[in-house]
Amino acid sequence: MSTHIAAEPGQIAPIVLFPGDPLRAKWIAETFLEDAELYSETRGMLGYTGTWEGHRVSVQGSGMGQPSMAIYANELFEEYDVQTIVRVGSCGALTENLKVRDIIIANGACTDSGINRVRFHGLDYAPVADFGLLRAAVEASEAEPLDSAVHVGLLFSSDQFYSTRPELTEPFVKHGVLGVEMEAAGLYTLAAYYERRALAICTVSDHIVTGEETTAQEREQTFGDMIRIALRAATS
């Protein structure tokens, strides 16, 4: 039984969907999974296991930011032998080429986090998605009838939601980064370390350039598209 998830061995499926918000985990389990059972509510970070189209799938809240996410990802990989994690989250758009409600499938993630700086002794590591999962997610997005445009590109995993120096993202934007969130780089790094598969898919919830935001109802609809892409890719 792990320190933070505290589930019994075998209660967590080899495939995990990984939203930041634990209540989003509950919504995903209730909306998409059959026979979903709660396996953890330690610290309110809800985790459920059920089935989707005959595949055993878990949904685990990660919390916000790489330190919180890494606690749960480490335990999922190390103690529950999870093979595949798909982050399903939200992000801010950094370029006018994106609109709110668009979906980003992240092929890689930059970061300002000190975690990887310590891990790699000050050298720059390039955290990337599992290629098979990435390809499966793109194929799933082409097969599903979607309301939102889907983009494949880079995310910036920031340690700060309320940045004191937003101008620091300008070079990232000039080098093709599409959106800002707070977890993908850490997840990709841990998946590489444990030799497992990871992918981050994010829905644009707010626009850093235009100031536009999504309504709760819009977020739910677009979130549904993203979850279907994630489930199809993770189980293919």
**Positions in the binding site for ligand ADE (CB under 6 A):** 90-92, 158, 161, 180-182, 205-206
Tally the C-alpha atoms within 13 A of residue 210's C-alpha that lie toward its C-beta. 14
Closest residue to ligand ADE in the complex (CB): 92
Structure tokens at 182: 């707070």
Question: How near is the Cβ of 53 to ligand ADE at its closest, in Å?
Answer: 29
Query: Reduced to 3 states, what is the DSSP secondary structure of residue 62?
Result: coil
State which residue, 47 or 92, has the beta carbon closest to ligand ADE.
92
Whether 112 sits among the annotated catalytic residues: the reply is no
C-alpha–C-alpha distance, residues 131 and 151, integer Å: 15
State which residue, 66 or 205, has the beta carbon closest to ligand ADE.
205
State which residue, 102 or 181, has the beta carbon closest to ligand ADE.
181
Nearest of 98, 113, 81, 104 to residue 182 by alpha carbon: 113
Question: How near is the Cβ of 29 to ligand ADE at its closest, in Å?
Answer: 22
State which residue, 9 or 166, has the beta carbon closest to ligand ADE.
166
Going from the C-alpha of 94 to that of each of 17, 51, 91, 155, the distances in angstroms are 25, 36, 9, 9
C-alpha–C-alpha distance, residues 51 and 55, integer Å: 5
Question: How near is the Cβ of 145 to ligand ADE at its closest, in Å?
Answer: 25
State which residue, 19 or 92, has the beta carbon closest to ligand ADE.
92
User: In the 8-state DSSP scheme, what is residue 145?
Assistant: -
C-alpha–C-alpha distance, residues 27 and 44, integer Å: 14
C-alpha–C-alpha distance, residues 127 and 199, integer Å: 11
- 230 beta partners: none
Question: How near is the Cβ of 200 to ligand ADE at its closest, in Å?
Answer: 12
Question: How near is the Cβ of 182 to ligand ADE at its closest, in Å?
Answer: 5
Catalytic residue among 124, 159, 206, 225: 206
Please state the φ and ψ torsions of residue 96, each to the nearest 5 degrees.
-70, -10
CB–CB of 161/208 below 8 Å? no
Residue with tokens 């061995």: 9
User: What are the catalytic residues?
Assistant: 206
